[in-house]
Chains A and B, each alone.
Chain A
Amino acid sequence: MDAVIENLPTYWRGFSMTLLLLGVSGVSALVLGTVIASMRISPVASLRGFATVYTELVRNTPLTLVLFFTAIILPYLGSRLDYSVAAMIGLSVYTSPFVAEALRSGINGVPVGQAEAARSVGLGFGQTVGLVVLPQAFRMTIPPLINVFIALTKNTSVAGGFFVFELFAAGRQLANANGDAVIAILLGVATLYLVITVPLGVIASQLERKWVVQR
């Protein structure tokens, strides 16, 4: 326990890096995922094909390989990115297809009857989408999106293996330095991860319960 309290500044340094990774890659994955999702439902066939292939390939690539690419292969090819920036790029790319799938399944989850009803009372495209489909899709999208962010929080730990000093790397360093208190140190790290993931999970399941549409 003493080892944990003595090393609180190191924990904090790691934790703030984890939060930074989570924030930056979360926002950019959201943007990238929205672009991919809209390409996937667009009427332009080649964009649709590109988005499908991208989703399928990125989703089946392990995150370790993505981060290996951004942290080791990119500098080898001549990039001069900072390791934390490289990790953010890798995490956003890896997370974007999951965001896109969450968005798409939300829109697909609205029954066709809803759009048909809106059309048959005379609403145009904008009104149908804006007033009928999207409000319902939104409710079904938020809980899965929160789950994607929970996964992202846990995935930031992989960046710790690729030269970024975040929570996992902090834990590894402290565990090496304090061989007699490994359990306490690593439980401290786990607690900090749980501080992010558990509340998010509670929010997701509560929203899901609150917003469930009885059909």
Chain B
Amino acid sequence: MSSSSVLFDAPGPKARRASLISSIVAGVLIIAGLGWIALTLAAPRESGGITLPGYFDPSRWDIFADPQVWSFIIFQGVWGTLSAALTASVLAIVLGVILSLLRSSEIAWIRIPVAIVLEFFRGMPVLLMMLFILLVFSTGSFWAVVSALTVYNGALIGEALRAGLAALPRGQREAGLSLGMRPLQSKMLVEFPQAFRQMLPIIVAQLVVLLKDTSLGYIVGYAELLRVNMNNLASFYGNRYLFSLFVVTLVLYLIMNLSLSWFARWLSRRTASRSSGKALPPDDATQAILVAQASAAAKQPPQF
């Protein structure tokens, strides 16, 4: 149901005017609310006899004129976040590929244990996994963060790839086998490339989640953007800058995440428009469900 205009008759001049007026009123209310928050933050505050400057006062922001602060934020904080995210992404995709192949194996005593392990990892908080790896394997915080993110996101990517493999028309495998390929060959050369391409938007969307989750490193003591800004810089320059440092951290995180999500969305539109022309009819009902699930999942990014 892409257009809601089907639900009611086309609005006449009166309804259009009403809608415009309510739009302006709501817009003014929203702007007033945001303005109130900004003014409250900007107003100087009394605290125990001393007047503190407002939160937009230059004295709370002057450290950001210093290029050294920025180089510290970029080279310690942003780099800490990105290096963990990059390492974990590469490893998670590799792990996901392996898990999806094992999970769709024809040998039951490989398939079933892998399915149980996948279920176990998917149902557990990443943070708990980080703590577990940190305490049990005493790897140091970088590898605790990276390996927990790898295992968790690898399990999710593996599940997505498996759905992609299962959603392929059965004829693909049959064609591969009838050409004399061994089952593994047919899987790697014929089915897997198709499944991977189909599922690429989901995988990239999962990498957005991974990037967001690197911030959990803050809790297990890994020096990523949040920890570098809020612990190291705030304790060096003093609590006065706590709010401004938080705003800068938030903006940097939003820039990184939004650009990756837009890339994911662009990729999913591109894949959708390419594959829409040559959709093959699925063989049976369960497969129809899988195809529907896979294509629905490809259209919206996952959330955790």
Q: What is A's interface to B at a CB cutoff of 8 Å?
A: 41, 43-47, 49-50, 56-57, 59-65, 68-69, 72-73, 76-78, 98, 101, 105, 107-112, 114-116, 119, 125, 128-129, 133, 147-148, 150-151, 154-158, 160-161, 168, 171-172, 175, 182-183, 186, 189-190, 193-194, 197-198, 201, 208-209, 212, 214
Question: How far, in angstroms, from A189 to B135 measured CA to CA in the complex?
Answer: 14
- Check A161 against B127 for contact (C-beta < 8 Å): yes
Contacts A/B (CB < 8 Å), 25 sampled: A46-B27, A47-B26, A49-B27, A60-B253, A60-B258, A61-B253, A62-B253, A64-B218, A68-B246, A77-B41, A101-B303, A105-B296, A108-B2, A148-B303, A157-B125, A161-B219, A168-B128, A172-B131, A182-B135, A183-B132, A193-B125, A194-B124, A197-B123, A201-B119, A214-B288
> Which of B7, B216, B285 is A115 in contact with, Cβ under 8 Å?
B7
Question: Which residues from chain B contact A110 at a C-beta distance below 8 Å?
Answer: 1
Q: What is B's interface to A at a CB cutoff of 8 Å?
A: 1-4, 6-8, 11, 19, 22-24, 26-27, 30, 41, 45, 55, 119-120, 122-128, 131-132, 135-136, 208, 212-216, 218-219, 226, 230, 239, 242-243, 246, 249-250, 253-254, 257-258, 261, 285, 288-289, 292-293, 296, 299-300, 303-304
- Check A157 against B7 for contact (C-beta < 8 Å): no
Question: How far, in angstroms, from A194 to B122 measured CA to CA in the complex?
Answer: 9
- Check A201 against B216 for contact (C-beta < 8 Å): no
- Check B128 against A171 for contact (C-beta < 8 Å): yes
Question: Which residues from chain B contact A214 at a C-beta distance below 8 Å?
Answer: 285, 288
Quote the shortest CB–CB distance from A208 to chain B (angstroms).
7
Question: How far, in angstroms, from A156 to B126 measured CA to CA in the complex?
Answer: 11
Quote the shortest CB–CB distance from B16 to chain A (angstroms).
9
Question: How far, in angstroms, from A212 to B296 measured CA to CA in the complex?
Answer: 12
Top 3 A-B residue pairs of the complex, sorted by shortest distance between their CB atoms: A161-B219, A151-B304, A46-B27
State the main secondary structure of chain B at its contact with A. helix
Question: How far, in angstroms, from A133 to B6 measured CA to CA in the complex?
Answer: 11
- Check B125 against A175 for contact (C-beta < 8 Å): no
Question: Which residues from chain B contact A45 at a C-beta distance below 8 Å?
Answer: 19, 23
Quote the shortest CB–CB distance from A115 to chain B (angstroms).
4
Question: How far, in angstroms, from A38 to B23 measured CA to CA in the complex?
Answer: 14
Question: How far, in angstroms, from A44 to B8 measured CA to CA in the complex?
Answer: 15
- Check A76 against B243 for contact (C-beta < 8 Å): yes
- Check A50 against B285 for contact (C-beta < 8 Å): no
- Check B23 against A116 for contact (C-beta < 8 Å): no
Quote the shortest CB–CB distance from A59 to chain B (angstroms).
8
Quote the shortest CB–CB distance from A191 to chain B (angstroms).
10
Question: Which residues from chain A contact B257 at a C-beta distance below 8 Å?
Answer: 60-62
- Check B6 against A116 for contact (C-beta < 8 Å): yes
